[in-house]
């Protein structure tokens, strides 16, 4: 099961209390105060793990509490510190405050660590308060409580290329053709119910990652269909492949489909409208009205976008498309997609 949004509660461990104690040892005159300090509470850390690709393991385990520090003891013995708790999350996880929606951290690299809840400070024992004017303090300090907060975790897949388009535009068939990913393929809308990642092998140890996003429909940015839930996964991609079914079997107009999807992308996040985009006409093997293909080609070229024609069923044009994607990714470079705080807060409100 693919889960990309969960809430968790994290609690740092409480600090241990200091202790009031006095030495009572044979042959030690005027023993004096010997109360040790309490140990500090453990911390809760979020750590990126590239072996994870979903937040499912946190849906049924939302509470994460670190160990408390042990209390101090006599003979100036300090309490043991509480153990830390490590919460593993997928690379690409964004952490937001569940109450305000404020972005706290974007965990975008494998092994990246973020302190989610700090443990409490240990209290001082009475030995700590000894002075020239107070030789025998009879008080100590209690430990402080650890931090506690509720966090909203949002996973945004890290992929080089995102496939977008109407349901049944051929996205799942394409990704299964160019990679080892095996999403469900069937002749009905919304076959794909969750994003899929596929790694395309270019040879000589060169690869790129493709994300197959569930089909979009008009009004997706506002909640229609599955779009508002999964559109976030194309925000980090460097290149969009906009797949448009040009066969008459779909019962839709290719140019209209092309325009609708681009409006949805722009309405969801204006930055997506500026993202490099290839327009890909699909299902050429079922093309029976060439003018549909010509109209889409003309509109794409008018918008200054590169145009490709493929049939995943017969592999026609697929190799050329993959090579063009490779060249475009090299041209774009590896710079990450930067999001504004306003974009992130707007998504939280949705």
Q: Which of 117, 154, 124 is nearest to 141 (CA)?
A: 124
Whether residue 162 contacts residue 239, with contact meaning beta carbons closer than 8 Å, is answered with: yes
Q: How confident is the model at residue 194 (pLDDT cuts 50, 70, 90)?
A: low
Whether residue 103 contacts residue 93, with contact meaning beta carbons closer than 8 Å, is answered with: no
Query: Does the structural domain 5-155 have CATH classification 2.70.210.12?
Result: yes
CATH superfamily of 161-349: P-loop containing nucleotide triphosphate hydrolases (3.40.50.300)
Q: In terms of pLDDT, which residue wins out, 67 or 217?
A: 67
Q: Which of 300, 286, 226 is nearest to 258 (CA)?
A: 300
Q: In terms of pLDDT, which residue wins out, 215 or 343?
A: 215
Q: Express each pLDDT in 108-147 by its tens digit.
A: 888 999 999 999 999 999 998 998 888 889 999 999 999 9
The domain ranges of the chain are 5-155, 161-349
Strands (E), the chain: 5-11, 44-49, 63-65, 85-90, 93-97, 103-107, 113-117, 148-155, 161-164, 196-203, 206-212, 239-245, 277-282, 307-309
Whether residue 1 contacts residue 54, with contact meaning beta carbons closer than 8 Å, is answered with: yes
To which residue do tokens 């060169």 refer? 206
Whether residue 215 contacts residue 225, with contact meaning beta carbons closer than 8 Å, is answered with: yes
> What's residue 333's pLDDT?
77
Most confident of 110-119, 193-202, 222-231, 271-280: 110-119
Q: Express each pLDDT in 271-313 by its tens digit.
A: 877 889 999 999 888 888 889 999 999 999 999 999 999 998 8
């Amino acid at each position: 099961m693919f889960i990309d949004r969960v809430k968790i509660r994290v609690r740092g461990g409480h600090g241990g209390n200091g202790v009031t104690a006095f030495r009572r040892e044979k042959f030690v005159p005027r023993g004096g105060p010997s109360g040790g300090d309490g140990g500090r509470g453990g911390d809760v850390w979020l750590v990126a793990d590239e072996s994870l690709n979903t937040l499912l393991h946190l849906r049924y385990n939302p509470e994460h509490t670190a160990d408390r520090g042990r209390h101090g003891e006599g003979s100036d013995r300090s309490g043991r510190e509480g153990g830390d708790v490590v919460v593993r999350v997928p690379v690409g996880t964004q952490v937001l405050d569940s109450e305000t929606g404020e972005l706290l951290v974007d965990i975008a690299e494998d092994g990246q660590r973020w302190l989610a809840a700090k443990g409490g400070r240990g209290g001082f024992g009475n030995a700590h308060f000894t002075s020239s004017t107070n030789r025998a303090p009879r008080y100590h300090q209690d430990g402080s409580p650890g931090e506690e907060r509720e966090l909203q975790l949002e996973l945004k897949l890290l992929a080089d290329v995102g496939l977008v388009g109407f349901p049944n535009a051929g996205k799942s068939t394409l990704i299964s053709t160019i990679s080892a990913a095996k999403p469900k393929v069937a002749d009905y809308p919304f076959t794909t119910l969750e994003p899929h990642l596929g790694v395309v092998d270019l040879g000589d140890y060169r690869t790129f990652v493709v994300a197959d996003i569930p089909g979009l429909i008009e009004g997706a940015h506002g909640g229609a269909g599955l779009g508002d839930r999964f559109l976030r996964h194309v925000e980090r991609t460097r290149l969009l492949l906009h797949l448009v079914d040009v066969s008459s079997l779909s019962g839709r107009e290719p140019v209209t489909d092309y325009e609708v999807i681009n409006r949805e992308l722009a309405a969801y996040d204006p930055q997506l409208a500026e993202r490099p985009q290839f327009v890909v006409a699909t299902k050429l093997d079922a093309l029976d009205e060439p003018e549909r293909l010509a109209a889409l080609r003309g509109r794409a070229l008018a918008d200054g976008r590169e145009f490709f024609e493929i049939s995943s069923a017969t592999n026609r044009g697929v190799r050329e498309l993959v090579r063009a994607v490779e060249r475009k990714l090299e041209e774009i470079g590896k710079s990450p997609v930067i999001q504004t705080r306003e974009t992130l807060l707007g998504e939280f409100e949705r």
